């Protein structure tokens, strides 16, 4: 059809040439040159005959070619009109619609006559008319144009237009093929919402795991493959730079003494199905020791065994447990080292604890006493102290009593103290005290009254006769049996720590040399069992008429707990300086008063340079107009604890993501005194989230190309194949074949693009070797 005119011309030239050549030769052969008139007559007839024959022949050829052209045009018209894809043709210059098929009329809802009166701009929605519910820029087509268009009822919908320049009625026009994208947009929006919800849930789960110090893991015994969550690194101090298999890394961090216990529990879980609950120690990357509790169960059986578990950092709980046990052991040692006999009763008057002095005084072993009623050891009818135990238990008051014990055949000094478990009783043998000279009675009573008012050791040292008198609090201060106490200066000084003894003597000599009366000194004193306590010794020198010191009266206060508390505070302050998290302390005006070493190291700011400045001006973005947002300022002004994720900037203008925890603190009068802000560097976590988002975007684009872009050339090829099946002539089929080849090449380009994107992703995306995920 495309070559019809040329074919007719060629046929005409060939036939004419053959006719002229052979007809002239035939006339020359039939007639000689003498009969020129006859030759002329036959030549004229031959010309007329040729014209008539060629005219008839040209008429038949043109009519045949015209019939084929109309048939081809009718087929293409049927393809256009009957195609299920909405199509319309518009003038490239005026943009007026000149033709529209039935599918487009059904899609837009305009009658065909009204449709042909509109321009492309009239059916295209303006920006303010675009339905926001359908405004999804993620649904794109590289070979088409996206547009929001208007239906006859005024509603808008999202379409993808495939535009092609064509010649229509001898003028340049554009053929637009319309694809309704509304369902795809809604599907994409739903998918995006699900992804956002999943990311939010993942973030909440990650934060919950970090707060509770719990990390999940999966283990495949057949391949020895361990996969753990990202929180595992931070909670348990495991290095992300280590490229070894995860199981090998974790086992190497377990204490050698605990390694067999952990592996045994895992083996019993896999082989016997016994649920694993193992607590062991690990060495973190910073060298610290952490206690980990591992809980695990089998999720699938042989042959593809899968173990699912969780690990929790219980270092704090374990430390508290160790401290509690240490306290209990120290308490037991203290009870056994004191000279007073001790026993504790529960609310039913059963003995629940005794010390060594009690065992020695009563002569009964621990096994025969614990859990028994007190009346088994001291019968009720012969126990004069029972009413005082009962009063301490019922009235919750301290009771004391000195009386004769018929069971022990001794004078006893008893003190009963109410406790949560019942009552604690201390008693000592005062028989010798009862037999002392009556002249000392008043002094003893005075000492006892002072001892009841204070736990300080009160002493009176006779420097002339080298003798010292103490009150009974001495046995509470030092764990020395009462009968081993010596009453001379040399014995007392032998209890002073060797490193402090010289300073104690020198300070006393300075006071005596200057003829001063008041003296005080801090030193350590031996308390038995290799332990020393810090004490504050305050004394008063008494001078004779020659200004020579003859007596020193003083009191010794146990300041060990206070001293060690101060040391502990210093140690904690040093720990705070060394922690990896950045810490800022501000005053009530929100100005910086102190920062730790980690803050200086990470941000590059020194305390001396930023002290007295607002932290938001120091750490804020340099070109920011406002130091902090209104919401953040409102939270600060509420003076309540809060957490916030934000971006800070170092001295080198480096951007860091941090998770900041702001905790207010008050002074002694419960007035707001400032904030303690702890900044945790979460830049890696934020980068990880962005990396996951990039991966999701890539997978979404890949899914779109695979499921939608390939559908277009496939649909075109199917339509062309149908045309080939219904084509009558070989020429028609040959004309369709180039279109089919174009669709195949288009599909090949799409497949190539997908292949290139996958290769780019594989070469550019980082791979998590521990988890096996990219």
pLDDT of residue 210: 53
Other beta carbons less than 10 A from residue 75's beta carbon: 16
Q: What is the pTM of this model?
A: 0.29
Tell me: pLDDT of 439 over 60.
no
Whether 36 shows a pLDDT value over 80: the answer reads: no
Domain count, the chain: 7
What does the pLDDT look like over 219-236, one tens digit per residue? 887 787 887 776 677 767
| pLDDT band for position 72 (cuts 50, 70, 90) | low
In 3D space, the residue among 409, 408, 391 whose CA is nearest the CA of residue 400 turns out to be 391
User: In this structure, what DSSP letter does residue 544 have?
Assistant: -
- The contacts of residue 386 (CB under 8 Å, 6+ apart) are 374, 375, 378, 380
The pLDDT of residue 338 is above 60: yes
Q: Per residue in 657-696, pLDDT tens?
A: 888 888 888 876 778 888 888 888 888 888 887 888 877 7
Residue 137 has pLDDT above 50, yes or no: no
- Asked whether residue 772 is assigned to any structural domain, the reply reads no
What span, in angstroms and rounded, lies between the C-alpha atoms of 231 and 243?
Answer: 17
Q: Are 733 and 727 in contact (CB under 8 A)?
A: yes
The answer as to whether 208 is a domain residue is no
| End-of-domain residue from the set 681, 703, 721 | 681
For residues 252 and 238, is the Cβ–Cβ distance under 8 A? no
Q: Which domain holds residue 32?
A: 4-81
Query: DSSP E strands: which ranges in 314-398?
Result: 341-346, 351-354
Q: Is residue 202 part of a domain?
A: no
Average pLDDT over residues 738-761: 76
Q: What is the pLDDT of residue 563?
A: 79
**Alpha-carbon distance 245 to 266, whole Å?**
17
By CB neighbour count within 10 A (0-12 exposed, 13-18 middle, 19+ buried), where does 755 fall?
exposed
The answer to whether position 196 is within a domain reads no
| 56 and 127 housed in the same domain | no
Q: Does residue 774 fall inside a structural domain?
A: no
Q: Once rounded to an integer, what is the mean pLDDT over residues 480-508?
A: 86
Q: Outline where DSSP puts E strands in 95-188.
A: 97-100, 145-150, 156-168, 171-180
Which run of H or E residues covers position 647? strand 642-649
443 and 547: one domain? Answer: yes
- Are both 556 and 445 inside the same structural domain? yes
533 and 640 assigned to the same domain: no
Dihedral angle sign, alpha carbons of residues 649, 652, 654, 659 = negative
Domain match, 446 and 529 both: yes
Task: Check whether residue 157 and residue 136 sit in a common domain.
Answer: yes
Question: Considering only 38-47, 81-90, 278-287, 686-695, which range has the smallest mean pLDDT?
Answer: 38-47
Q: What is the pLDDT of residue 765?
A: 55
Band of pLDDT at residue 373, cut at 50, 70 and 90: confident
pLDDT for 414: 87
The number of CA neighbours under 13 Å toward the Cβ of 569 is: 6
Are both 747 and 708 inside the same structural domain? yes
| pLDDT tens profile 586-609 | 988 888 988 888 888 888 888 888
Q: Does position 771 have pLDDT exceeding 60, yes or no? A: no
Contact 246, 226 (CB under 8 A): yes
Quick one: 445 and 556 in the same domain?
yes
Please identify which residue in the block is written with the tokens 């173990």. 307
Q: What is d(CA 537, CA 555) in angstroms, rounded to the nearest whole number?
A: 6
Tokens linked to 275: 């649920």
Helix (H, G, I), strand (E, B) or coil at 622: coil
258-291 pLDDT tens trace: 888 888 888 888 888 788 888 888 887 777 888 8
User: Taking Cα atoms as reference points, which of 138, 161, 158 lies closest to residue 150?
Assistant: 158
Confidence check: pLDDT of 451 > 60: no
> Is position 347 within any domain?
yes
- Domain end (from 565, 588, 607): 565
402 phi-psi bin (left φ>0, alpha ψ -120 to 50, beta other): beta
Q: Where are the beta strands (DSSP E) in 65-129?
A: 87-91, 97-100
Question: Residue 139's pLDDT is what?
Answer: 39
Q: Note whether 617 and 645 are same-domain residues.
A: yes
- Per-residue pLDDT for 437 more than 60? no
DSSP state of 709: I
Q: Which tokens sit at 651?
A: 């001295």
Give yes or no for a contact between 394 and 377, defined as CB atoms under 8 angstroms apart. Answer: no
Q: How confident is the model at residue 746 (pLDDT cuts 50, 70, 90)?
A: confident
Return the CATH number at 254.
Answer: 3.30.450.20
Closest CA to 372 of 344, 399, 391, 400: 344
718 lies in some domain: yes
Q: Is the pLDDT of residue 135 over 50?
A: no
CA distance readout (Å), 395 to 347, 383, 530, 623? 12, 20, 39, 70
Q: Distance between CA atoms of 157 and 665, rounded to whole angstroms?
A: 58
- Residue 764 or residue 558, greater confidence: 558
Kindly state whether residues 227 and 178 are assigned to the same domain: no
Residue 569's pLDDT band (cuts 50, 70, 90):
low
The answer to the question of residue 571 being in a domain is no
Check residue 117 and give its pLDDT.
82
Provide the pairing of β-strand 549-558 with 457-462: antiparallel
- Decide which of 250, 281, 313 is a domain's last residue: 313
pLDDT recorded at residue 50? 73
Residues 550 and 455 occupy one common structural domain: yes
pLDDT in tens, 499-512: 998 999 999 889 88
Which one is predicted more confidently, 661 or 215?
Answer: 661
Q: Which residues of 7-37 are buried (b: 16+ CB within 10 A; e: fewer)?
A: ebeeeeeeeeeebeeebeeeeeeeeeeeeee
The residue with greater pLDDT, 727 or 120, is 120
Q: Which of 233-242, 502-511, 519-528, 765-774 has the lowest mean pLDDT?
A: 765-774
Lowest mean pLDDT among 9-23, 400-414, 484-498: 9-23
Structure tokens that stand for 62 in this block: 């043109």
Among 389, 352, 392, residue whose Cα is nearest residue 372:
352
Residue 290 to residues 207, 382, 481, Cα–Cα distance (Å): 20, 56, 41
Same structural domain for residues 593 and 673?
yes
């Amino acid at each position: 059809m495309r070559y019809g005119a040329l074919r007719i011309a060629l046929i005409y030239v060939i036939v004419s040439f053959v006719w002229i050549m052979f007809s002239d030769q035939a006339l020359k052969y039939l007639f000689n040159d003498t009969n020129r008139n006859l030759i002329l007559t036959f030549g004229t007839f031959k010309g007329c005959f040729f014209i008539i024959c060629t005219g008839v022949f040209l008429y038949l050829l043109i009519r045949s070619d015209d019939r084929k052209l109309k048939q081809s045009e009718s087929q293409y018209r049927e393809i256009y009109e009957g195609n299920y894809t909405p199509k319309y043709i518009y003038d490239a210059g005026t943009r007026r619609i000149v033709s529209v098929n039935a599918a487009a009329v059904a899609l837009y809802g305009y009658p065909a006559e009204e449709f042909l009166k509109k321009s492309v701009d009239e059916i295209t929605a303006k920006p303010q008319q675009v339905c926001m519910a359908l405004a999804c820029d993620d649904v794109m087509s590289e070979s088409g144009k996206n547009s929001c268009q208007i239906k006859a009822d005024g509603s808008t919908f999202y379409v993808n237009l495939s535009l092609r320049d064509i010649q229509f009625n001898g003028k340049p026009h554009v053929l637009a093929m319309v694809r309704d994208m509304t369902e795809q947009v809604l599907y994409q929006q739903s998918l995006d919402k699900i992804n956002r919800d999943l990311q939010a849930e993942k973030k909440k789960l990650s934060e919950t795991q970090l707060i509770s110090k719990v990390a999940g893991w999966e283990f495949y015994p057949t391949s020895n493959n361990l996969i753990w969550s990202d929180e595992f690194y931070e909670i348990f101090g495991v290095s992300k730079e280590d490229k070894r298999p995860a199981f090998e890394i974790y086992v190497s961090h377990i204490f050698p003494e605990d390694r067999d216990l952990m592996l045994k529990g895992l083996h019993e879980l896999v082989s016997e199905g016994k649920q694993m609950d193992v607590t062991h120690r690990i060495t973190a990357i910073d060298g610290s020791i952490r206690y980990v509790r591992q809980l695990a169960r089998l999720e699938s059986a042989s042959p593809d065994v899968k173990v699912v578990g969780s690990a929790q950092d219980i270092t704090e709980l374990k430390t508290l447990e160790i401290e509690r046990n240490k306290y209990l052991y120290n308490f037991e040692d203290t009870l056994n080292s004191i000279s007073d006999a001790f026993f504790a009763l529960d609310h039913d008057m059963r003995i629940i604890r005794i010390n060594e002095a009690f065992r020695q005084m009563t002569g009964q072993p621990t096994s025969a006493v614990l859990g028994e009623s007190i009346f088994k050891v001291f019968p009720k009818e012969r126990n004069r102290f029972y009413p005082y135990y009962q009063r301490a238990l019922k009235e919750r008051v301290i009771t004391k009593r000195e009386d004769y014990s018929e069971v022990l055949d001794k004078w006893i000094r008893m003190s009963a103290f109410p406790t949560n478990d019942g009552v604690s009783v201390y008693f000592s043998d005062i028989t010798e005290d009862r037999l002392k000279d009556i002249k000392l009675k008043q002094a003893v009573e005075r000492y006892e009254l002072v001892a009841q008012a204070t736990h300080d050791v009160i002493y009176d040292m006779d420097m002339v006769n080298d003798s010292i008198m103490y009150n009974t609090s001495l046995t509470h201060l030092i764990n020395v049996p009462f009968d081993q106490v010596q009453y001379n200066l040399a014995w007392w000084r032998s209890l002073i720590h060797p490193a402090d003894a010289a300073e104690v003597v020198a300070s006393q000599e300075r006071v005596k040399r200057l003829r001063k009366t008041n003296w005080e000194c801090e030193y350590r004193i031996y308390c038995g069992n290799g332990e020393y306590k810090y004490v504050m010794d305050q004394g008063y020198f008494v001078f004779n008429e020659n200004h020579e010191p003859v007596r020193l009266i003083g009191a010794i206060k146990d300041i060990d707990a206070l001293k060690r508390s101060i040391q502990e505070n210093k140690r904690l302050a040093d720990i705070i300086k060394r922690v990896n998290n950045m810490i800022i302390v501000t005053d009530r005006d929100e100005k910086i008063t102190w920062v730790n070493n980690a803050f200086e190291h990470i941000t590059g700011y020194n305390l001396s340079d930023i002290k007295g400045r607002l932290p938001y001006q120091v750490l804020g973005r340099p070109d920011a107009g406002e130091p902090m947002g209104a919401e953040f300022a409102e939270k600060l002004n509420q003076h309540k604890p809060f957490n916030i994720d934000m971006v800070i900037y170092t001295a080198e203008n480096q951007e860091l993501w941090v998770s900041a925890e702001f905790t207010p603190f008050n002074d002694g009068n419960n007035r707001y005194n400032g904030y303690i802000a702890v900044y945790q560097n979460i830049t890696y976590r934020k980068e990880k989230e962005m990396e996951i988002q990039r991966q999701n975007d890539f997978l979404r684009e890949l899914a779109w190309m695979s499921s939608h872009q390939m559908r277009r050339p496939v649909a075109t090829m199917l339509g062309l194949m149908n045309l080939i099946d219904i084509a009558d002539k070989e020429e028609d089929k040959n004309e369709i074949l180039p279109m089919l080849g174009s669709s195949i090449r288009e599909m090949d380009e799409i497949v190539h693009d997908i292949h290139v994107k996958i290769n780019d992703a594989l070469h550019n995306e980082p791979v998590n070797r521990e988890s096996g995920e990219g």
